[in-house]
Amino acid sequence: MSIQESRRPRPTPVRDSAPAQEPLWRHVVGGVLRRRRRAQGRTLQDVADVAGISMPYLSEIERGRKEASSEMLAAVAGALGLGLVDVLALAQGELAQAVRPVRLVSTTGVTTSGQGSRGTVCLAA
């Protein structure tokens, strides 16, 4: 890399329109758990009993008010007949849909895709 290349302004990520706030992970995971429980026609108390946690705590997890540990998530997932990897995959899919692709704009105003002129780069959490 030449000195001149290292002095070029670096592109900064910007959204194509007004920035939308990304959902928090705990909200996405909680929604996944709640939808799965309801799809099975089960009550909070039933799932909480099988998972070995209190019903109010499960409710807080489902509403995204509590950041559950991996042990708690695994227990709730197991009570719903899921593996932890299933819950994480479902949550990741929902989060990816909620996040718009990011384009890069340099400080000189030249829009790039993050790889020069080779193509578009989409970043996902």
- H/E stretch holding 46 reads helix 44-51
**Helix (H) or strand (E) segment spanning residue 104:** strand 103-105
- Residue 23 CB coordination number (10 Å): 16
- How confident is the model over 66-114, as pLDDT tens digits? 999 999 999 999 999 999 999 999 999 998 888 765 554 555 555 444 4
121 shares a domain with 82: no
- CA 33 vs CA 11, 45, 68, 93, 122: distances in Å: 38, 14, 12, 14, 27
Predicted confidence band of residue 119 (pLDDT cuts 50, 70, 90): very low
Residues 1 and 29 in one domain: no
Give the least confident one: 18-32, 58-72, 85-99.
18-32
Q: Which domain holds residue 39?
A: 25-98
Please check whether residues 6 and 33 belong to one and the same domain. no
